[in-house]
Every structure is written in structure tokens, then in C-alpha cells.
């Protein structure tokens, strides 16, 4: 089983692909390079600028300090957001969680019984190389809801789809057994009442 997919008792927890985190790391490194470049300019030209323009050096130092703090703050928020962007498959539903510290808290729940179809696709070379795809989950139309859910950056989509299909099959078997037994019990009660 892939390390993105963990099983806990009857629940399955799926984390999004690491490529999401790599893009945030690249952005963080870009901010660091800009900050160190500005700091290098500040140190190199500190003595060459006349005393009238020394305030510009302090402005550059302040800008570097603010930019560095901004980069670290957003990098920490990106890591928390990546770790909290998960999918939980329980026995009866699929739960999509997207959360960060203060900026975003989204929870979406899909009933597994309503899932009609699951499709997956990938339209890019890197997506095929790193094995992350987009999965489209189609569900029966309910009032005021969309009937499709697109989930991007799913690692090992075939395993994800097979897990959902297994859970869906279990639900169908449980409900079939429950309703057949209930139907049989109802017929037995009717016979007793007639006697």
C-alpha cells in the first residue's frame, strides 16, 4: 500500500500528493533567494553610499526582514495546510477536509451509497511520472447539490478508486441483507397476526 494511504480500523485516510508541498517549498526558496540577494546588496554597498542615502540601506534591511518573516509564516501555513488536506473514507461516507490555521476550514461529506461513478484522468507528463491524478466522483443528484466532485492530486488513483468501490460494495450488501431480513420479519409478523 502506498504511504499516502493509511488504514485505521474501518477508516482509510488519504493524504494528497507531495507535489503540492514541493510547489510551496519552491516558492519559499524563491522568497529566501530574493531576501538574501537584497541583504547581499545591503552589506556590499553599505560603505559606498554617501551619508545622505544611508536611510535607503535601512529601508532595504527592513524590507528584507519583513520579506523573510512573510516567507517563513506562509511556509509554516502551507505545511499545515498540506498536512490537513486529507480524505477520510469511512464505512458510509467520504469526508474531504481542507484546513489551515485560521484561513480555511472546509469539510465536505459525500454519502458512499449515492456514489454512482468514479473516473480518473491525467493530462500532463509530470502527473503521469509522479503518479498523481484527478479523480471525479459522480453521485446521485440531491436537492441543491452538485452531482460531481473533482479531487485533484490523488496519489495512486487506481488504489483510491478500488477502496471506494470496496466500501460501496459492502454498503450495498449490508443494506440488501438488512432490507431482505426486515422484509422477511414483516411477513412473519403478518402471518402471526392472521393466526
Q: Would you say residue 49 has pLDDT above 60?
A: yes
* 56-60, 90-94, 135-139: segment of lowest average pLDDT: 56-60
Helix (H) or strand (E) holding 162: helix 157-194
Range name among 1-15, 80-94, 164-178 with the lowest pLDDT average? 1-15
**pLDDT at residue 29, rounded to an integer:** 92
Q: pTM for the whole thing?
A: 0.72
Domain span holding position 64:
19-82
Average pLDDT, the chain: 80
Question: Does residue 51 carry a pLDDT above 70?
Answer: no
Are residues 56 and 103 both part of a single domain?
Answer: no
pLDDT: is 76 or 146 the higher one?
76
Q: Are residues 71 and 9 in the same domain?
A: no
Residues 125 and 52 in one domain: no
Number of domains in the chain: 2
Q: Among 82, 105, 120, which residue terminates a domain? A: 82
- CATH code for position 102: 2.30.29.30
Q: Which residues pair with 52 in a beta bridge?
A: none
Together in a domain, 89 and 156: yes
Q: What are the DSSP calls for 8-23, one per residue? A: ETTEEEEEPPTHHHHH
Q: How far is it, in rounded angstroms, from Cα 137 to Cα 115? A: 7
Last residue of a domain, which of 60, 82, 104? 82
Of 53-57, 66-70, 152-156, least confident by mean pLDDT is 53-57
Amino acid at each position: 500500500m502506498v504511504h499516502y494511504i493509511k488504514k485505521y480500523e474501518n477508516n482509510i485516510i488519504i493524504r494528497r500528493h507531495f507535489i503540492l508541498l514541493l510547489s510551496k517549498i519552491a516558492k519559499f526558496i524563491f522568497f529566501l533567494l530574493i531576501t538574501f540577494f537584497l541583504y547581499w546588496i545591503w552589506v556590499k554597498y553599505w560603505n559606498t553610499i554617501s551619508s545622505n542615502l544611508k536611510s535607503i540601506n535601512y529601508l532595504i534591511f527592513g524590507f528584507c526582514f519583513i520579506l523573510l518573516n512573510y516567507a517563513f509564516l506562509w511556509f509554516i501555513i502551507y505545511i499545515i495546510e498540506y498536512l490537513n488536506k486529507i480524505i477520510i473514507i469511512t464505512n458510509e461516507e467520504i469526508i474531504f477536509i481542507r484546513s489551515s490555521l485560521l484561513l480555511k476550514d472546509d469539510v465536505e461529506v459525500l454519502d458512499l451509497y449515492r456514489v454512482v461513478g468514479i473516473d480518473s484522468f491525467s493530462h500532463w507528463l509530470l502527473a503521469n511520472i509522479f503518479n498523481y491524478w484527478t479523480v471525479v466522483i459522480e453521485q446521485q443528484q440531491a436537492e441543491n447539490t452538485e452531482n460531481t466532485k473533482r479531487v485533484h492530486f490523488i496519489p495512486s488513483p487506481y488504489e483510491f478508486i478500488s477502496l471506494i468501490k470496496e466500501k460501496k460494495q459492502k454498503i450495498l450488501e449490508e443494506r440488501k441483507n438488512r432490507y431482505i431480513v426486515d422484509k422477511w420479519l414483516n411477513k412473519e409478523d403478518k402471518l402471526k397476526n392472521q393466526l
